[in-house]
Structure 1
């Protein structure tokens, strides 16, 4: 196709297509695919209103993370953890089964991490709990491929994960800042 049309013309055509059509079409050469993924629109005057999936009366909601266009959201109505994986481009989401873990209390704070495991081609969600500010409780890992939660046996970390601090997904691993006795230390914890 690029032998007949200049790249700029192809990009002009592709940027006018609906997202659903682009998702269905997987026949781009690597160079064209890269152009689409890194398209830069300097106008910023075009935007699309997204329908945000919500559940009833919420006491808490947050974006856990996003990866490859998939967004992980958490909702906490009536002290029950709810998660969804949402693809805003195609306006579809799935509700994850509830994990068998206690929710927020005065002594327990939970942190969440979301990422993609390229080895197993699987999206995963990690729950890390911190009890009384320092003690790591058993983490739980959700696998989209298996559609279930599993307890993960952690190695004993030298530092704690501060409650409420978001993880960052880089190079196939989740990263948190390390804390000791409530103070930030020069350490990054990886899972």
Structure 2
């Protein structure tokens, strides 16, 4: 049997977005339990794997340039992978480009059932969660949480300390994402 790689183009436009990124170093065995053996987890100098939590509060989400979902909060958990060195061209209006980061993604967690349904229809792994909080305004200490069920015992929380840049640093970033769904795999490139 020849493996088939599916690629379904998915368009998602999000507007008036507030985001929070937090990086956590975790035991590589914890990361390995969540990443199929096909992908190699990147181990850093401290002997740990990198887990990134990104939470977004989107005032408007439009899927396939047609369906307005309205306001949605999303949480993403990514585990860093080894990848080929890659530097893409800078986008207009940016000062520089960062090297591409490679990630294995867990299902997108969304607080709106319609968004979860539409993601799944497009072939994107998604999970409904009952609550997502960004944890306050940037600058200083803020705490947030995601309740995966209506009970607080199935949740994760974080506290992060952020410091705002004295002036904006507008750069081009590149991320390649991978996910395995049963016998099928997906990949995406976001610039």
| TM-score over 0.5 for the pair | no
Q: Normalising by structure 2, report the TM-score.
A: 0.26
Higher RCO, 1 or 2 (CA under 8 Å, sep at least 6)?
2
Specify which structure has the higher proportion of helix. Answer: 1
Higher alpha-carbon Rg: 1
